[in-house]
Amino acid sequence: MWNLARIGAMVAICLAVTGGVGAGIPPRPKGPPPGPPRPTVVVSVPNTPLQFGKISGPGPALLKAQTTAHVVANCPYRLAATFQGFMETAGKKTAIPAAQMAVKINGKDVPVGTECVQIGTGGPTPPAGVDVPVVVEVEIKTGASSCRAGQYGGGLVLVVKPAL
């Protein structure tokens, strides 16, 4: 009986020591081990339309608008843009022909349409990100005065990609 009590005490002590040692070991992670962070680039712009102004009469006109793109990246990145032209917004689908416009974004010529042109690059940003100015200049050439008066809208598309 005495031997049985000693064996029971030894088992209890062994379990207590094993439990105490095991409590300091973190559980093994499930799945593959973590690797380096994936390249991530995020761009955001204000949710307000660009204001280009008005064409004041016949002849050429220069319209200009600017905004700021906010970029957060953990790797080098490239910022590209495209301008898809002007379309009348008052119910009609009248467009100013691309041949009557010349577009520059941040000083670089951009063809009207869907072709992207690189307008900026950068390296990894601080955690809060960086602001990148975007200046759009549209020159309406002579002959565009035949376009209907009214309010026009357009599509400015910014594309940001990791520069790997």
Residue 141 has pLDDT above 50, yes or no: yes
pLDDT at position 76, please? 92
The answer for residues whose C-beta is within 8 angstroms of residue 66's C-beta and 6 or more apart is 50, 133, 134, 135, 136
Domain locations in the chain as residue ranges: 41-162
Query: Would you identify the CATH topology of the domain 41-162?
Result: Immunoglobulin-like (2.60.40)
CB neighbours of residue 120 within 10 Å: 19
Q: Is the CA virtual torsion 6, 9, 14, 17 positive or negative?
A: negative
Distance CA 163, CA 81 (A): 15
- pTM summary value: 0.70
Lowest mean pLDDT among 35-49, 62-76, 92-106: 92-106
Cross-strand bridge partners of residue 65: 136
Residue 29 has pLDDT above 60, yes or no: yes
SS3 of 77-113: EEEEEEEEEEEECCCCCCECCHHHEEEEECCEEECEC
Radius of gyration of the chain (CA): 31
Q: Is the CA virtual torsion 32, 36, 38, 42 positive or negative?
A: positive
Query: What pLDDT, in 10s, does the model give residues 116-129?
Result: 888 888 889 999 99
Looking at residues 129-134, what average pLDDT do you find? Answer: 92
Residue 154: pLDDT band with limits 50, 70, 90? confident
pLDDT at position 131, please? 92
Cross-strand bridge partners of residue 79: 120, 160
Of all helices (H) and strands (E), which one includes residue 135?
A: strand 130-140
Distance CA 25, CA 3 (A): 34
> What's the gap between Cα 15 and its chain centre?
56
